[in-house]
Structure formats: structure tokens, C-alpha cells
């Protein structure tokens, strides 16, 4: 495994729409492993492929230690409710802001074996899924922020 360089705001790759993964190859599996290592090394809870310069619809999320969601070609298929909370991003270091997101989401994706699955998430996990999936469409949380926060407020 290798730790990857995280791209930061201002890098054009973060504003591009990612292409779907057509086939689960050894390269895709290596990317998943490297993204998990990179996310953990940066103390993040999620990481999307464009954040490491790869324009593919791949993201990883781990809000609880050891419970990793590998999302290939993820799509939000249902959402409900509303929550406002603080968000940060590994690609926007040192900045935090309030963002309104769905309270509940159901995500459909492929796993590393190419099998389709669905997961319904609530609260913080729902927020993390929304945040990472938006990266795949060239969007950053700062596009939706209602108010930036100081580090003391976060």
C-alpha cells in the first residue's frame, strides 16, 4: 500500500466529474487500499478518488474505526429528513463550516468484488456519504456552507 497525495482546494481535478468504473481491476483494488491508508494517515473519515487525483467514481468512508465502506459507482437512491452540522474536508485543510444535509440516505454501490449493495445511513454516516459522493461530481462542501466556523466553534 502507498500513501497518496491529497489534492487541495484550487486544484482543478477537484472540480471535475468522475467517470464510472467499468471493471474491477487489480488497479482499482490497489487504489481502494491506498485510499484507506491515505484517509487514515490524514485522520479523515472519508476520501474520494478525485481528492487523490483519480477521476473515477470511487470513495471510502470510515466514521467508526474498522467499519469501512468502499463505494464504487455510488449513487444516493433515497434521502429523508434534514440535519445541519459542521464539516471539514481533507482537501480544504484547516477550515470548517455548517452544511445542511439529509438526515437519512440510502446509497447503492458496488463493493470490491463487483457486487451491488445498498446501505442506509443516518446522521453522521449519512453526512459522510453525501460529502464523499458530491466530490465525485466536482462539488466541495464549501459550495453548500451556510456559515464558516472558527476552529474554536468546530
CA distance to 24, 35, 53, 91, 127, per residue, from 11 (Å): 27, 18, 9, 9, 24
- Sheet with 92-101, strands from edge to edge, namely 83-89, 92-101, 147-149
One of 132, 151, 152, 153 is an active-site residue; which one? 132
DSSP 4: P
Concerning whether 134 is annotated as a catalytic residue, the answer is no
- Tell me which residue of 94, 150, 105 sits closest to 132, measured CA to CA: 105
Q: What is the CATH number of domain 12-149?
A: 3.90.45.10
Write out pLDDT tens, residues 57-111: 999 999 999 999 999 999 999 999 999 999 999 999 999 999 999 999 999 999 9
Tell me how far apart the 2 most distant CA atoms of the chain are, in Å.
45
Give the model confidence (pLDDT) of 110-132 as tens digits.
999 999 999 999 999 999 999 99
> What mean pLDDT is reported for the chain?
96
Contacts for 93 with CB less than 8 Å, ≥ 6 apart: 8
Q: What is the H or E stretch that residue 30 is in?
A: helix 26-41
Sequence ranges of the domains in the chain: 12-149
Q: How far apart are CA 23 and CA 5, in angstroms?
A: 24
pTM of the model: 0.96
Residues 6+ apart with CB under 8 A from 142: 9, 89, 92, 95, 97
Amino acid at each position: 500500500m502507498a500513501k497518496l497525495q491529497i489534492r487541495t482546494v484550487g486544484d482543478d481535478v477537484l472540480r471535475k466529474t468522475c467517470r464510472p468504473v467499468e471493471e474491477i481491476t487489480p488497479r482499482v483494488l490497489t487504489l481502494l487500499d491506498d485510499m484507506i491508508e491515505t484517509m487514515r494517515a490524514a485522520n479523515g473519515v472519508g476520501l474520494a478518488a478525485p481528492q487523490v487525483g483519480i477521476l473515477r467514481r470511487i470513495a471510502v468512508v470510515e466514521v467508526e474505526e474498522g467499519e469501512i465502506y468502499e463505494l464504487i459507482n455510488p449513487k444516493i437512491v433515497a434521502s429523508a429528513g434534514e440535519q445541519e452540522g459542521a464539516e471539514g474536508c481533507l482537501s480544504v485543510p484547516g477550515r470548517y463550516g455548517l452544511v445542511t444535509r439529509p438526515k437519512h440516505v440510502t446509497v447503492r454501490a458496488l463493493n470490491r468484488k463487483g457486487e451491488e449493495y445498498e446501505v442506509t445511513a443516518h446522521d453522521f454516516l449519512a453526512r459522510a456519504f453525501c460529502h464523499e459522493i458530491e466530490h465525485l461530481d466536482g462539488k466541495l462542501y464549501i459550495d453548500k456552507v451556510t456559515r464558516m466556523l472558527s476552529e474554536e466553534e468546530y
